[in-house]
Structure 1
């Protein structure tokens, strides 16, 4: 009987312990909040015409993409495609691949992708497409670019002050409005400080061909140029300038490390803040199609740091003109402006409209070269 009582006491104790454990477990479960599932990152695609390592145009865009990723963190995932040719077969294939990979925003970063973007965007209305430097839009397609002609003008001042021969060479990619207005702005900047200069243009019909672009610069140097400017994606023209003991004005990014004895400064792109703003707008549902053409005051375009060997008075002059542009006091496309033949294209007191600047297809007086 005593043994039976002991067993009953033991069983009762075990039941009390079990009940206590269940109660504690229930209380702990009630006190532990449920974990909120992490949202999937938004996939953002970037299509590049060149290599990320080109030190120029594609490099600058990729720096912007990485800036955006750093700012937005785990909320975004980058998807990149390099060296995508500007033809419908390649461009449309890569655009569709990015859509299939789940990209909700796609940045096509070169002019030649425009028609492919419009076509693919029509098939995928739930994806936002941004096309750089183009002019065609749709409900889910916007365009973006910056007024790079503003720092181009300033770099022209540097060239006009530093040339001794009054012969400036300009290695340019394609005879399209984007390049033409840059050449014109550069030339007007040079002429504003040196009315005797001539700017000689050579077209390469390439964006990224280091050897060809360097050879084009060599031809200009052999013809007497002592300053070389460029609208190309590689530092090839700057390297040719340094080898010849000439000065250079680079483009896209700070290329000074590739030709440190030649490069005075150069127009640069700062795409990062635009990419952050645009992706945030898509994320929060406020994005709307637009044609963005940002001025230097937005920070999207600027000048690379000045070379240590540029005279202080030249730096101060450029800074002064930059301040005038930023304040709106100086609009570089205000007349009188003459074309190559001496015909007045923009009368005195008249300022070109945005559309006129974006579609410019004539050279200003002072440019030597054809539009072919």
Structure 2
């Protein structure tokens, strides 16, 4: 499998040709109509035992983050016999992704698509999927609901457990009792990560607070650097994030003398002395399982979830800055999480506006779907969702 941790100049599998095809689609009434006028089949024929799989990324595949983790999963799929993988990076969450999906289906014969960015689903996948009922559209982000097209589905992982473990490492490392979080947008998955990070730290010391700054963008280096510096200025001495590429946050925080916890992929090479650990996606298992099932003619559930125990998520190795006490609590908690049913959100617990979110004895295990509609920040998080 290719190693994306130290990126080399990357090939563009669908560079100029894909852009040309998107322009072609944009200039006409759509590929189906265009090929019909030309007297050509709508899509290439596929031999038995073969499958073309398309991966679409909103950013570059070597971003040290979200897209890199997805690309590592695609690299694993390339090793499956009979599978052809086509990829396109830097595809915006606009009409562009619809054109890219149709291009992969009609020019490349893709029978399974992984449009990986959160904003690709609604309206883009939901618009294109009904036109191609024989193609499977799998989206990363947990947005599929009953009543949506049967050939669409969503997959996601309980990576909040990873941020809870990040928080344990942060709780042992902080001296100021102030930790920080750079976040893109206040959607449920991001809020769960922020809350989990703080609650993990508070399992070490209940006096710890976490300041969160939302940049409003999945990828905006300038805003991420500004937010990281603002957190450091406010006294945060451990910082993590949920943005597409943590590279700027990690390097800026470490440059300010703060410890860091990674996200999406392993960023330890960016700050080896300051990197405590990180919550990583392990999409290789998810993607190879789905591709293998598709090739075998097996149905893929519309709603797929898994966590650390299922191999959807993994943790970066603990860095040298972790104390023995931090390692002991980290390992013990990880062992509990691996048993399944672990609850980060449990009562008594209030949000940071004083409202009760969990009563005494009430808990929300990692598998509870209620967590996927989270709209609050817990007590101890300094910041607002609005």
* TM-score interval for Structure 1 and Structure 2 normalised by the shorter chain: 0.7 to 0.9
Q: Is the 8 A contact 1:68 1:273 kept in 2?
A: no
Q: 2:335 aligns with which of 319, 323, 344?
A: 323
Distance 1:288 1:295 in 2: 18
In the alignment, structure 1 residue 61 sits paired with structure 2 residue 73: no
How far apart are 1:326 and its partner, in Å?
1.2
Aligned position for 1:229? 240
CA RMSD of aligned residues (A): 1.6
- Indicate the SS of the match to 1:53: coil
Q: 1:150 aligns with which of 161, 168, 173?
A: 161
How far apart are 1:329 and its partner, in Å?
6.4
1:83-105 Cα offsets, whole Å, 9 max, x none, are 11112x11211111111121000
Aligned position for 1:123? 131
Q: 2:116 aligns with which of 81, 98, 109?
A: 109
Q: 1:209 aligns with which of 212, 220, 227?
A: 220
Distance 1:319 1:327 in 2: 13
1:243-279 Cα offsets, whole Å, 9 max, x none, are 1111011111110111122211110010001111101
Q: 2:277 aligns with which of 261, 265, 277?
A: 265
Distance 1:297 1:340 in 2: 31
Q: 2:192 aligns with which of 178, 181, 185?
A: 181
- Indicate the SS of the match to 2:201: helix
- Indicate the SS of the match to 1:107: strand
Q: Is the 8 A contact 1:238 1:248 kept in 2?
A: yes
Q: Is the 8 A contact 1:139 1:288 kept in 2?
A: no
Higher mean C-alpha displacement, 54-63 vs 282-291: 282-291
1:65-97 Cα offsets, whole Å, 9 max, x none, are 101212x13x1011111011112x112111111
In the alignment, structure 1 residue 94 sits paired with structure 2 residue 100: yes
* Shift >3 Å, 4+ stretches: 38-41
Distance 2:61 2:202 in 1: 35
Give the greater-gyration-radius structure (CA): 1
How far apart are 1:201 and its partner, in Å?
0.6
User: What TM-score do you get using the length of structure 2 for normalisation?
Assistant: 0.83
> What are the equivalent positions in structure 2 for 1:275-294 lying under 5 Å apart?
275-294=287-306
> What are the equivalent positions in structure 2 for 1:1-372 lying under 5 Å apart?
39=48, 41-70=50-79, 72-73=80-81, 75-87=82-94, 89-100=95-106, 101-115=108-122, 116-136=124-144, 137-234=148-245, 235-328=247-340, 330-352=342-364, 354-372=368-386
Distance 2:333 2:93 in 1: 37
Distance 1:231 1:303 in 2: 15
How far apart are 1:41 and its partner, in Å?
3.4
Distance 1:321 1:299 in 2: 17
- The answer to which structure has the higher helix fraction is 1
- Indicate the SS of the match to 2:375: coil
How far apart are 1:297 and its partner, in Å?
0.5
Count of aligned residue pairs for this structure pair: 333
Query: Structure 1: 5+ residue runs without aligned partners?
Result: 1-37
Q: Is the 8 A contact 2:78 2:85 kept in 1?
A: yes
